[in-house]
């Protein structure tokens, strides 16, 4: 976690320049455009370094993540060329193609991680946890951003589809990183938690960017750009922190479930349900997509709890299983 100290310093300096505008608009423009390129390149270089220190599936994971970071860096470079060249950035542009390619490459990296190859029961719980989080985030995003964007933007154009693809791609990545984090032991999770943090920062920036672009209020030098720099640098820190001693082909048979692992999926669910109550109070209805997302969310939560209850029941009768680990993590005993 020591790698987060320079990351915090660099992000703070970048944010201070964007917010203060020291040196004028030109200085802010160059700091923003070149700073995001440098941050993405740092992620690319350090992911390549991590690739050389691993073997097996972890080598594939970091190699694909390095390729994704390189695609992000290419997108940022293309954006800078458009922006600093004196013209406006096309909508969509080749930078968008590089960004979206990076999303697909990151998804491929997460699917290649050895943690995804765990036990069937563990994978079911991980998939349900990921589904709860993804459905919650999609529900919130639909009510706040995607729904209004879908109704107002022209989805028959390539630009409209590209704009809509960003938050959908982000939700997919968050779902997959939850699967990976849930399939590893605590000692193996530092780099994965950092990747999760980086993807959350990227998701937040993409969502705000989509909204600002839709209302024609985005331009280079907006404070939202700090989120992208932070996401690239945190992913770079994750690559730097990756241990070369991690097992490349195996995952624990029954990974330890901590209190955080048990309770984390409920946080976004509570946010989603609170927002749903507010929206129903204000508009007196939910549209069809929101209802579908709500049904998926509730179904995933119920299935998760049924599976947990079944494992608890089994554990109480044979003295092993999830019951002992769950109650032990909460301070009790089965």
- Per-residue pLDDT tens digits for 171-230: 778 778 877 877 676 555 788 889 988 988 888 888 788 777 767 778 888 899 999 999
Decide if pLDDT at 323 tops 50.
Answer: no
Stronger pLDDT, 298 or 30, i.e. the higher one? 30
Instruction: Please write down the long-range contacts of 328-334, taking CB distance under 8 Å and 24 or more positions apart.
Output: 329/256, 329/257, 329/258, 329/259, 329/262, 330/259
Alpha carbons 51 and 244: distance in angstroms, whole number: 9
Average pLDDT over residues 310-321: 58
- Percent pLDDT > 70 in the chain is 72
Task: Using the structure block, give the residue that is written with the tokens 């209850």.
Answer: 309
Write down the pLDDT at residue 12. 94
| Token pair recorded at residue 302 | 């119920």
DSSP state at residue 24 = -
| CA–CA distance, 91 with 154 (Å, rounded to integer) | 13
Gap between the Cα atoms of 195 and 178, Å rounded: 10
The CA distance from 295 to 300, in Å, is 8
Cα distances (angstroms) measured from residue 24 to each of 17, 27, 225? 10, 6, 17
59 against 86, higher pLDDT: 59
In this prediction, what percent of the chain has a pLDDT beyond 90?
28
Q: Is the pTM of this model over 0.85?
A: no
If pLDDT is split at 50, 70 and 90, which confidence band does 156 have? low
* Cβ–Cβ under 8 Å, residues 88 and 143: no
Q: Check residues 59 and 328 and name the one with the higher pLDDT.
A: 59
Looking at residue 1, what is its pLDDT?
65
């Amino acid at each position: 976690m020591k790698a987060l100290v320079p990351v915090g310093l660099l992000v703070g300096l970048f944010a201070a320049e964007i917010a203060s505008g020291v040196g004028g608009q030109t200085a802010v423009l160059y700091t923003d455009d070149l700073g995001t390129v440098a941050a993405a390149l740092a992620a690319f270089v350090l992911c390549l370094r991590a690739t050389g220190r691993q073997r097996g599936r972890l080598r594939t994971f970091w190699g694909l993540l390095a390729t994704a970071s390189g695609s992000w860096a290419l997108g940022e470079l293309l954006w800078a060329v458009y922006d600093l060249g004196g013209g406006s950035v096309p909508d969509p542009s080749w930078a968008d193609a590089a960004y979206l390619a990076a999303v697909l490459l990151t998804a491929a990296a997460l699917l290649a991680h050895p943690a995804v190859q765990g036990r069937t029961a563990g994978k079911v719980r991980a998939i349900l946890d990921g589904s709860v989080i993804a459905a919650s985030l999609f529900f919130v995003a639909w009510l706040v951003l995607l729904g209004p964007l879908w109704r107002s933007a022209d989805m028959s154009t390539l630009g409209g589809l590209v704009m809509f693809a960003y938050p959908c791609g982000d939700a997919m990545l968050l779902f997959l990183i939850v699967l990976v984090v849930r399939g590893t032991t605590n000692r193996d999770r530092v780099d994965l938690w950092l990747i999760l943090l980086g993807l959350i920062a990227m998701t937040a920036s993409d969502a705000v960017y989509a909204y600002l672009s839709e209302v024609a209020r985005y331009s280079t030098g907006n404070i939202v750009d700090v989120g992208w720099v932070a996401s690239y640098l945190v992913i770079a820190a994750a690559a730097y922190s990756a241990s070369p001693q991690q097992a490349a082909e195996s995952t624990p048979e029954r990974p330890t479930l901590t209190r955080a692992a048990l309770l984390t999926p409920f946080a976004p669910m509570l946010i989603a349900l609170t927002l749903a109550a507010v929206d129903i109070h204000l508009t007196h209805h939910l549209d069809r997509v929101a209802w579908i997302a709500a049904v998926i969310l509730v179904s995933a939560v119920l299935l998760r709890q049924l599976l947990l209850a079944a494992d608890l029941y089994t554990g109480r009768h044979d003295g092993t299983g999830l019951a002992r680990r769950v109650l032990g993590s909460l301070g009790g005993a089965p």
